[in-house]
Amino acid sequence: MKRRVGVLISGRGSNMMALVEAARAPDCPFEIALVATDKPDAPGLAWAIEQGIPTFAQSPRGKPKPEYEAAIDAALRAAGVEAIALAGYMRLLSEDFVARWRGRIVNIHPSLLPKYKGLDTHARALAMGDSVAGCSVHLVTEELDGGEVLGQAEVRIDARDTAESLAERVLAAEHRLYPQVLAEWLCR
């Protein structure tokens, strides 16, 4: 039986798409049981709907955080989700939510953690004069981008790189890394 994964997105959703595509392989150990978003106009949501994947789309605007997260939690449980993959989900999950799903939430982050937690990772790597950038898949804990690193991919920084050109190559690496690490983690 494939493990049922819920993916949380806020935007483009290209990592979610990579997970959905990977899940189509018969020997992939996971399937995408739900795509959930806090942005009902997220481009990734429209794609997921087109693919016939069950979705949850609700803006948190005007709702207390516990109430909003309870709605996401209910949708994930109703879909039989066993593990959550954050993929460009821009909202901080509460300690309560993380505790309820402890050890069962992963995220992809565009840096070689523990370097460059938070935003603007590529500009920061360039400003520091780094020669290597990359991406990390990590367990989600209460600490932002702070949980155990499960896998990383390195991307060489070129002298002519801008934050945008680097982001593009790191994103391609993310699309390869995330399905692979998610599969390994679910099987361990």
Q: Which positions touch ligand GRF (CB under 6 A)? A: 9, 11-15, 44, 87-88, 108-110, 135, 171, 174
The catalytic residues are 109
Smallest separation, CB 89 to ligand GRF (Å): 8
Is the CB of 70 or the CB of 123 nearer to ligand GRF? 123
Is the CB of 38 or the CB of 174 nearer to ligand GRF? 174
Smallest separation, CB 67 to ligand GRF (Å): 25
- Contacts of residues 96-104 at CB distance under 8 Å and 24 or more positions apart, as own/partner, are 96/66, 96/69, 97/69, 97/72, 97/73, 98/140, 98/141, 98/142, 100/73, 103/139
Q: Which residue is nearest to ligand GRF (CB)?
A: 88
From CA 63, how far away is CA 53, in angstroms rounded? 26
Smallest separation, CB 17 to ligand GRF (Å): 8
Is the CB of 40 or the CB of 80 nearer to ligand GRF? 40
Is the CB of 9 or the CB of 76 nearer to ligand GRF? 9
Smallest separation, CB 24 to ligand GRF (Å): 18
Please report, in angstroms and rounded to a whole number, the separation of the first and last CA atoms in the chain. 15
What are 7's two structure tokens?
Answer: 């993916």
Residues 6+ apart with CB under 8 A from 154: 112, 132, 133, 134, 173
